[in-house]
Amino acid sequence: MDHSQQIAGSHTIDQIRTRRRCLWIVFLTYLPAVWLSLRLTGSNQITLAVAIIWLVLAAVAGVMVSASRCPGCGKLFHMQGVATSWGARCVHCDLSLKPLKPTERT
């Protein structure tokens, strides 16, 4: 399976990469955002609101990643049953999110 084929209704490799990138950005900016909010405002209430907003964003981003459909097989890229694996390969058909090496292209 290469990256040029796609099943209707599925997401492209780039869309899945973008969703994963958004999740990582939300995840990695959580503590700095909470710290910065507390530092700048000095308000526990505002910081709590920032923390809750970030958690909601993380939940949305996590669901978006989990709901990504593989362009190769059309199944959920990261989920098999209720188990979620956020690896860089489809859990069903092993399609990789990494760019193909020149020797792998046909």
Query: In the set 10, 72, 76, 78, which binds Zn ion (CB under 5 A)?
Result: 72
Q: How far apart are CA 100 and CA 13, in angstroms?
A: 12
- 71 scored as a contact of Zn ion (CB under 5 A): no
Q: Kindly tell me which of 2 and 31 has the beta carbon lying closer to Zn ion.
A: 2
Among 33, 79, 93, 97, binds Zn ion (CB under 5 A): 93
54 Rama sector, left if φ>0, alpha if ψ -120 to 50, beta otherwise: alpha
Under the binding rule (CB under 5 A), the answer on residue 73 touching Zn ion is yes
Q: Is residue 70 close enough to count as binding Zn ion by CB under 5 A?
A: yes
Residues in the chain: 106
Beta-sheet strands, E only, within 6-103: 79-80, 83-84
Residues 63 and 42 sit within 8 Å (Cβ to Cβ): no
Stretch that binds Zn ion, among 28-36, 48-56, 59-67, 73-81 (CB under 5 A): 73-81
With contact defined as beta carbons under 8 Å apart, do 89 and 18 qualify? no
90 makes contact with Zn ion (CB under 5 A): yes
Q: Between residues 29 and 66, which has the closer beta carbon with respect to Zn ion?
A: 66
